Amino acid sequence: MTMQNLLVELFVEELPPKALKKLGESFAGTLAASLKASGLAGADAVVTPFASPRRLAVHVTGVAAKAADKSVQQKLMPVAVALTADGQPTPALLKKLAAVGADASVVPQLKRQPDGKAEALFLDSVVAGATLADGLQKALDEALARLPIPKVMTYQLADGWSSVNFVRPAHGLVALHGDDVVDIATLGLTAGRTTTGHRFEAAQPTVTLRHADTYAEQLASEGAVIASFDARRAEIVRQLTAAAAKEGLKPIDDDALLDEVTALVERPNVLTCQFEAEFLAVPQECLILTMKANQKYFPLLDAAGKLTHKFLLVSNIAPADPSAVVQGNERVVRPRLADAKFFFDQDRKKTLESRVAGLDKVVYHGKLGTQGERAERVRAISHSIVQQLSLATLPYTVDVEDHFKLLDHKAQQAARLAKTDLLTDMVGEFPELQGIMGGYYARHEGLRDGVAIAIEDHYKPRFAGDSLPRNQTGTIVALADKLETLVGLFGIGQLPTGDKDPFALRRHALGVIRILVEKHLPLDLAELVRAAVPAFGERITDPSAALRAFFGDRLAVSLREQGYSAQEVDAVLALSPSRLGDIPRRLAAVRAFSALPQAASLAAANKRIGNILKKAEGVVEATIDPALLQENAERALAEALQTVQPGADQQFEQGDYTASLQALAALRTPVDTFFDDVMVNAEDPALRANRLGLLKTLHGAMNRVADLSRLAS
């Protein structure tokens, strides 16, 4: 069997840059998987994807010219149907044999084997392995069919009559098995060994590939193309870092921009450019966004993270004198920055307060009204959150009361103004800047810095890993904004389904969870939801129950992603803790308890107690009558519980959940002895009720931090 490395390349017109990375990975992965499934490539074959603006390719090691033949066993039919009483084949069997390419001559070789309660006939045969040409054709067809193409285009083939659908017009196909061309075809193309290099930098118009293994090297040396997406990306990073270091600066860190630029060039050449320093008077977020989004430039920052007037360009050509390229890009960026400056100057001519009335003309949702109505709901919910915070703060002194009055005023002011920047020219041009621009305009007007920060931060966290609001006012408005979205949309039945979440409700829920947990807020999530519902009046149906389940699912997923085990998460969330800020300490306590030698026994006992109490008739009261404690084991358990419980409860009330759980470890021996020596379901009703009361008391003491039965294996 001839084993050689394989190279397949599809040469096309410029592919969509934002999709190139996924296209390259899919093309290589699907084609290689198909070859492995057909037995042409081993499971340990090394798969190397290539993707540049004008090509998708893959290199696979150890590919056979022909797959090995396979012995297969095929079930035909039950013996009772296949053979007559004297062992002769029935017409049904002969028909089945003909269908699988056999005849009556193979009947003596058929095997009888048990098949359920009866016997069946099985045919052993050898299936010839696929040839590389056939297997690769199938693999290529499958790879192209499964490409995650964002938008298909239709184009004519060279014959002028036929047309095909593909992401971009294809102009070349290469298939090399070692140094031999494999006879395959697709999209009107027949495989060969020639490809095309860089449009302007290639040493010669076409590159004739000598061998599957020389693909990357020949494209680099003869075609001036770095074919590997990862290698090209790494080269861009290297050049960006070096160019920035020469200026004593650092390029902005943006993986999405880096991927997009990698998909735009075949031979990267980083050049340093600059713009007039006067534009730095515009908020740097605006300048950075316009340079990244419109021009694909890499802005340069100083050591403090402040934008400078220099930026880096990744060019696709490397002329001996790059000045024309530099000057051309500096000339192109100038109008973009001038537009940003114009928007900023114009927006500051109107106050945020003057824009509030305009929100009533902007529809938020057909069933939920305008942005103006939405802002009023956020304001009302913010007021409710401040009230809940004040009630949770003890001792409630005059100073505390004054603090919350001021906080309420600032939160309502920020909530009232938070959406007004949606009506500004800058946010109209760059929606990504909503909130950020509101903060800048608020500071320009001289509003309290705390209010300006709250306006800027009220969308936070915007994405996974984003920072939280920086001050208390911003935290309240951010919570109110997310709760308004969740309660409103759930209240009109707009729930996420499967992978569809057009209103980003999962992200909003995780934002609420992160704020409550990481800010250690003494707020009850269920009460937050209940208090938000009245802000909608008659527009919605109370979604509290659905949201409770939704938050529970999001919280469980989030905690498992943070590294907690499913058992630990289930044990804590089974109690539905009202204050999410307590959950990290509860999880830490459960993890510490699980490491104790007594943990497994106590968890198993807890599960057993829970089952006993579920099966008990009537209501079991958590009371113990010492006079009815007859057995030594039950007296010992009651005494141990009386000794341990007060300390464990005190530690629980103080928030020391780890110490509270660990104190319960002393109950292991009396609990084990109790179950060994005591009959819980005694015939005497009073005795049985007392023992159930003892177990109910024990169960309550053990499960204040978490449901320990969930830790039982």
Q: How many residues does this entry show for the chain? A: 713
DSSP output for 26-76: HHHHHHHHHHHHTTSB-TT--EEEEEETTEEEEEEEEEESBPPPEEEEEEE
Is the residue at 374 inside a domain? yes
Same domain, 679 and 552: no
Same domain, 160 and 261: no
pLDDT of residue 701: 84
The count of domains in the chain is 5
Report the C-alpha gap between 12 and 14 in whole angstroms.
Answer: 6
Half-sphere exposure of 119 (CA within 13 A, CB side): 9
Is the residue at 646 inside a domain? yes
Same domain, 246 and 145: no
pLDDT of residue 122: 86
- CATH code of the domain in which 416 resides: 1.10.3210
Same domain, 369 and 430: yes
Nearest to 506 by CA among 517, 516, 494: 494
Per DSSP, helices labelled H in 562-631 are: 566-573, 583-594, 599-615
Least confident of 92-96, 243-247, 288-292: 92-96
pLDDT of residue 21: 96
Residue 300 φ/ψ, nearest 5 degrees = -105, 135
Same domain, 55 and 153: yes
- Boundary of a domain, candidates 511, 531, 563: 563
Same domain, 627 and 612: yes
Q: For the residues 219-236, what does the mean pLDDT come to?
A: 96
Of the ranges 369-373, 448-452, 630-634, the best mean pLDDT one = 369-373
Average pLDDT, the chain: 91
Percent of the chain with pLDDT over 90: 59
pLDDT surpasses 60 at 110: yes
Which of the four pLDDT bands, split at 50, 70 and 90, describes residue 186?
very high
Same domain, 378 and 526: yes
Report the C-alpha gap between 359 and 562 in whole angstroms.
Answer: 40
pLDDT of residue 220: 95
Same domain, 259 and 376: no
The token pair that represents 454 in the structure block? 């709250």
The token pair that represents 219 in the structure block? 């494209």
Instruction: Residue 608: count other Cβ atoms within 10 Å of its Cβ.
Output: 16
Q: For the residues 457-477, what does the mean pLDDT come to?
A: 93
pLDDT of residue 593: 85
Percent of the chain with pLDDT over 70: 100
Is the residue at 398 inside a domain? yes
Report the C-alpha gap between 390 and 522 in whole angstroms.
Answer: 10
Report whether 700 contacts 713 (CB < 8 A). no
Angle, in degrees to the nearest 10, between helices 20-37 and 255-262: 70
Same domain, 482 and 621: no
Same domain, 55 and 122: no
Distance of CA 57 to the CA centre of its chain: 28
Nearest to 635 by CA among 683, 674, 693: 674
pLDDT of residue 120: 87
pLDDT in tens, 656-713: 888 888 888 888 888 888 888 888 888 888 888 888 888 888 888 888 888 888 888 7
Instruction: Residue 342: count other Cβ atoms within 10 Å of its Cβ.
Output: 13
- Boundary of a domain, candidates 563, 596, 629: 563
Judged on CB neighbours under 10 Å (0-12, 13-18, 19+), 203 is exposed
Instruction: Residue 479: count other Cβ atoms within 10 Å of its Cβ.
Output: 26
Is the residue at 575 inside a domain? no
Is the residue at 571 inside a domain? no
Report the C-alpha gap between 629 and 61 in whole angstroms.
Answer: 76
Is the residue at 572 inside a domain? no
Q: For the residues 57-72, what does the mean pLDDT come to?
A: 88
Half-sphere exposure of 348 (CA within 13 A, CB side): 16
Which of the four pLDDT bands, split at 50, 70 and 90, describes residue 111?
confident
pLDDT of residue 452: 95
Distance of CA 460 to the CA centre of its chain: 17
- CATH code of the domain in which 669 resides: 1.10.730.10
pLDDT of residue 581: 83
pLDDT of residue 617: 81
pLDDT in tens, 572-609: 888 888 788 888 889 988 898 888 888 888 888 888 88
Report the C-alpha gap between 177 and 64 in whole angstroms.
Answer: 9
Nearest to 143 by CA among 20, 229, 54, 57: 57
pLDDT surpasses 90 at 368: yes
Containing domain of residue 135, as a range?
Answer: 3-67+131-221
Which of the four pLDDT bands, split at 50, 70 and 90, describes residue 82?
confident
Which of the four pLDDT bands, split at 50, 70 and 90, describes residue 353?
very high
Report the C-alpha gap between 713 and 710 in whole angstroms.
Answer: 8
Nearest to 114 by CA among 63, 169, 75, 59: 75
Nearest to 530 by CA among 539, 543, 513, 517: 543
- Boundary of a domain, candidates 303, 332, 347: 347
pLDDT in tens, 515-535: 999 998 989 999 999 999 999
User: Quick check: helix, strand or coil at residue 624?
Assistant: coil
Distance of CA 492 to the CA centre of its chain: 26
Cis amide bond preceding 461, omega within 30? yes
Strand 118-127 to strand 163-166: parallel, antiparallel, or no bridges (unpaired)?
unpaired
Same domain, 595 and 537: no
pLDDT of residue 697: 87
Q: Which residue has the tokens 């007594």?
A: 598
pLDDT of residue 184: 95
Which of the four pLDDT bands, split at 50, 70 and 90, describes residue 81?
confident
Report whether 292 contacts 340 (CB < 8 A). no
Same domain, 309 and 392: no
Q: For the residues 394-423, what does the mean pLDDT come to?
A: 90
Dihedral angle computed from the Cα positions of residues 31, 37, 41 and 45, in that order, rounded to the nearest 10 degrees: 80
pLDDT of residue 499: 80
Is the residue at 630 inside a domain? yes
Report the C-alpha gap between 14 and 169 in whole angstroms.
Answer: 9
Report the C-alpha gap between 67 and 508 in whole angstroms.
Answer: 52
Is the residue at 578 inside a domain? no
Which of the four pLDDT bands, split at 50, 70 and 90, describes residue 652?
confident
Report the C-alpha gap between 478 and 481 in whole angstroms.
Answer: 5
Q: For the residues 450-458, what does the mean pLDDT come to?
A: 94
Which of the four pLDDT bands, split at 50, 70 and 90, describes residue 239?
very high
Strand 185-186 to strand 180-181: parallel, antiparallel, or no bridges (unpaired)?
unpaired
pLDDT surpasses 70 at 1: no
